[in-house]
Amino acid sequence: MSRRNTAVTDQVAPPEEECPLPEVLGLIGDKWSAQVLLELGHGPRRFTQLERAVEGISRRMLTLNLRALERNGLVTRTVHPDAPPRVEYAVTPLAEEIREPLEALAAWARRNRAALSAARRAYDRRG
Amino acid sequence: MSRRNTAVTDQVAPPEEECPLPEVLGLIGDKWSAQVLLELGHGPRRFTQLERAVEGISRRMLTLNLRALERNGLVTRTVHPDAPPRVEYAVTPLAEEIREPLEALAAWARRNRAALSAARRAYDRRG
DNA sequence: CGGGATCCGCCCGGATACTG
DNA sequence: CAGTATCCGGGCGGATCCCG
């Protein structure tokens, strides 16, 4: 193939007139993209920095996610002509806007962590 | 198996002290859960109503998603002793809070739909 | 350092059929 | 109506190796 590899890169919005949630979930609903985005929200990061910050992500998936984010205009990739190679990623203004609701989701999760696990335990106990 | 079937039901928060995003994405990051949640936000719905409203979801996945949402305390399931059977689903107060950031995400997607597809076309054209 | 290419196992989820 | 059971193909993503 000329570009792209397996998966997440290919998300394209359907032309239909419908609920926008699938689109946004196609962008950041996967396992890693949102975390990458939030980490980049703290400031520009190099590839290896992201690899360590996100923790658990594989080199491959980080690359794929970054490509997808770049393709959708959420992240910029700038190569500095140094030796050793130096590549910096940063969020675009478009991504800045989406970070707010994303942080809100994270905040909600933190607030209700206990309630969630309690609900699960109750559900599992009742069978 | 006694309960549960394939997948989405099993999400359990890791005990570690870390970023809450994976947790919330485990709850509503999949293809359908968020849409189900938003639809239920409009008011209580019966199974078949949801099946038609969400559009594209299979009976199986709707069941799985509802079970997962119920397990995490986001949705209540009430069976009315009628004939024919009547089951109503509704959001809990816990879910009410998460609907706001979710709507914000959807709004963001609607606002930037054009920008996103433009970014993709540009990226693809450049190779 | 910052990737790309390939292999491959597993899980996700659609299709279909059956049930109280 | 509101599910459950089973089958099964595809793709998602980890592991590994290689490269400029």
**Rounded (10°) angle between helices B113-126 and A21-28:** 50
- Tell me, what CATH number does A100's domain have? 1.10.10.10
pLDDT 10s digit of each residue in chain B, 127 long? 334 344 555 555 444 457 889 999 999 999 999 999 999 999 999 999 999 999 999 999 999 999 999 999 999 999 999 889 999 999 999 999 999 999 999 999 999 999 999 999 999 998 8
Residue B4 belongs to some domain of the structure: no
Residue B87 belongs to some domain of the structure: yes
Residue A11 belongs to some domain of the structure: no
The answer, for A53 touching chain B at a CB cutoff of 8 Å, is: no
Query: What tokens appear for B125 in the block?
Result: 């054209």
Examine residue B15 and say whether the peptide bond preceding it is cis (omega within 30 degrees of 0).
Answer: no
Whether residue A1 is predicted with pLDDT greater than 80 in this model: the reply is no
Residue A80 belongs to some domain of the structure: yes
Residue A14 belongs to some domain of the structure: no
Torsion of CA A34, A37, A42, A46, to 10 degrees: 130
Q: Which domain holds residue A89?
A: 19-126
Residue B10's pLDDT is what? 52
Whether residue A67 is predicted with pLDDT greater than 70 in this model: the reply is yes
Q: What is the identity of the amino acid at A70?
A: E
Q: CA–C1' distance A74–D6 (Å)?
A: 42
Residue whose token pair is 């696990």: A117
Residue A3's pLDDT is what? 39
**Maximal C-alpha separation, chain B:** 61
**What is the average pLDDT score of chain A?**
89
Domain count, chain A: 1
Chain-chain contact of B72 with A119 (C-beta, under 8 angstroms): yes
Chain-chain contact of A101 with B97 (C-beta, under 8 angstroms): no
Q: Which among B101, B113, B115 is the nearest to A105, CB-wise?
A: B101
